[in-house]
Structure 1
Amino acid sequence: MTEGFDYDAAFSRNLGWTTADEQQTLRRSRVAIAGLGGVGGVHLLTLARLGIGAFSIADFDRFDVVNFNRQAGALVSSLGQPKVEVLQRMALDINPGLALRAFPEGVGDDNIDAFLDGVDVYVDGLDFFAFAARRAVFAACHRRGIPAVTAAPLGMGAAVLVFMPGGMSFEEYFRLDGCDEEEMAIRFLLGLSPAMLQRAYLADPSRVNLAERRGPSTIAACQICAGFTATEVLKILLRRGRLVVAPRGYQFDAYRNRLATTWRPGGNRNLLQRIGLWVARRQLARMKKATEAAR
């Protein structure tokens, strides 16, 4: 423990929105975060400032210049360094008393049990295209009865889904079995944001290429994701406040000043979703043709 640091004093300004007893509940709680990039890193730092006392964090990647526009730990001083080490130092600089378990090899079948051991809530921070790891972690959370929260940074806003024990699972909602990676990407994107509020102001569609695993992102969206996620985690851990649980979700877009709540019984099997997926596939095909013609 660093001399002069006092947990109660450090997080006393949370009180009022939490009670003293609730703050101690947060202190005793463990949150797991897989992926410490655009959203994962800011999730960790936001939840650390909320007063969460223990984390399990996983990421195998290192910081690069292309991370600078959005990732919390991306600095000139951290170039080339492992993300998990950089974010661990930053979190401990907020609360030296944190109980941190780091998984620098990322998360997979060989360590998923250790990663989720003693975890109260899982927060998804994996790269958009990390489908194998994401499916494995959400499936393990569903088996173990661990609440799981995912918030996608889309445009200049966030789309949020919460999966609770006994409720609809990630697989039941997104229905990714038997899909190639491009189809998974389409189903994941539309499942996250059935309202697709961000689509109206995409300035350069050529920057979206699902086949090449690339798309635009903003720090505004990552920061909004962190605020929503921290609030959902707080409600789950303190067992108060209304939860919007899958197949219900919501999307807030700051650019358009709009909030959309969605309900998709059956997830991507829902008729509205199937129509949306058909439209999305056609739009993607047109974008591909336009990009190829411009080359």
Structure 2
Amino acid sequence: MKLVAEIKARSREVEQAGGRVPVLPVAEELALAREGGFSQKEIQLAALGAGILPARYLRNLGTVGLAGQETLLRACVAVVGAGGLGGWIIELLTRMGVGRLIVIDGDSFDDNNLNRQLLATQQNLGQAKALAAKERAAQLNGAVTVAAHVVWLTGENAREYLAPAQVIVDALDNLPARFLLQEAAGELGLPLVHGAIAGYQGQVMTIFPGDPGLDLLYPQGQAGRDRGVEVQLGNPAATPAMVAAWQVQETIKILLGQGEPLRNRLLYLDALGGTAEIIQLLP
């Protein structure tokens, strides 16, 4: 079976604002994988190379484009933490078509995760979060491969697990782990998209190698603290989704070279007050 010829034969055109666009329907993508023994990633990449958009990405077209979609499909992002923030981040990156995800989390689902963690269900309580992330991604987009590591990130294993990534996303919930992650990202020369939540508030910042990053946010001595104000204020359902969405936008911007990352700037979100503020941390 000649893949490109089959893709062209099974594609159809749809009307878009800029004209007609050839697309490959999801049903045809799945049929090709089943009948021809191709992976969905092979099919999607071949379609994009032939100027045919996998139909699942049609709503990405205006912002990402064909070339951008191919870039995303060839990209690799590490998400450290698969709980409140991480579940949403993994969901959105998978739907956007980021082709390879590295998910690192040593924790398993507990009852109190059900209020806010997208990947937590009544049926998977006790399951490792990283494995649930892998299962969820497979349900959404078969072209996305997930390397799921049921481990806690340490100074000893960080390089091994994070090295293949182009961007690292911080979905952690404590300061010591965040500072460890920032150090590892700097040593690997990789950008780190930081996010944190507490009650109705959240923050996002992108840290590039050499940037002071978290040191600008937390005074000396605070780095040794474990969980902080988020324990007192709790984590209502919508706050992780709000912050994770911004973290994913930052990640996509970095991968595609679009816009201005939040470098040395903190996005502070207050859902209770209905405000979003950019705080300049360095001149």
> What TM-score range do you get, normalising by the shorter chain?
0.7 to 0.9
Amino acid at match of 1:218: P
TM-score by length of 2: 0.76
The C-alpha deviation readout for 1:153-206, integer Å capped at 9, x for no partner, is: 233343111102343343465354586527x847xx8xxxxxxxxxxxxxxxxx
The structure-2 alpha-carbon separation of the partners of 1:126 and 1:179, relative to structure 1 and needing over 3 Å to count, comes to closer
The equivalent residue for 1:145 is 189
The equivalent residue for 1:263 is 280
The structure-2 alpha-carbon separation of the partners of 1:172 and 1:249, relative to structure 1 and needing over 3 Å to count, comes to closer
The equivalent residue for 1:134 is 178
CA RMSD of aligned residues (A): 2.4
Contact 1:142-1:169 at 8 Å conserved across structures = no
Which of residues 146, 154, 166 is equivalent to 1:100? Answer: 146
Runs of 4+ more than 3 Å apart: 1-7, 169-180
Gaps of 5+ in 1: 190-206, 209-214, 267-295
Which of residues 69, 82, 91 is equivalent to 1:45? Answer: 91
The structure-2 alpha-carbon separation of the partners of 1:172 and 1:261, relative to structure 1 and needing over 3 Å to count, comes to closer
- 1:253 has 2:270 as partner: yes
- 1:156 has 2:173 as partner: no
Q: State the SS of the aligned residue for 2:109.
A: coil
Contact 1:36-1:58 at 8 Å conserved across structures = yes
2: distance between equivalents of 1:244 and 1:180? Answer: 25
The equivalent residue for 2:242 is 224
Contact 1:35-1:106 at 8 Å conserved across structures = no
The equivalent residue for 1:287 is none
1: distance between equivalents of 2:195 and 2:214? Answer: 13
Contact 2:176-2:224 at 8 Å conserved across structures = no
More moved, 153-162 vs 229-238: 153-162
Seq. identity, %: 27
2: distance between equivalents of 1:140 and 1:178? Answer: 19
Higher relative CO (Cα under 8 Å, sequence separation at least 6) belongs to: 1
Report how many aligned residue pairs link the two structures. Answer: 237
Amino acid at match of 2:237: I
1:1-295 correspondence to structure 2 within 5 Å: 3=31, 7=44, 8-127=54-173, 129=174, 131-171=175-215, 174-177=218-221, 180-181=224-225, 185=228, 208=232, 215-246=233-264, 248-265=265-282
Gaps of 5+ in 2: 1-28, 33-39, 45-53
Q: State the SS of the aligned residue for 2:138.
A: helix
Contact 2:116-2:237 at 8 Å conserved across structures = yes
2: distance between equivalents of 1:101 and 1:30? Answer: 10
2: distance between equivalents of 1:11 and 1:180? Answer: 43
The structure-2 alpha-carbon separation of the partners of 1:179 and 1:232, relative to structure 1 and needing over 3 Å to count, comes to closer
More strand by share: 2
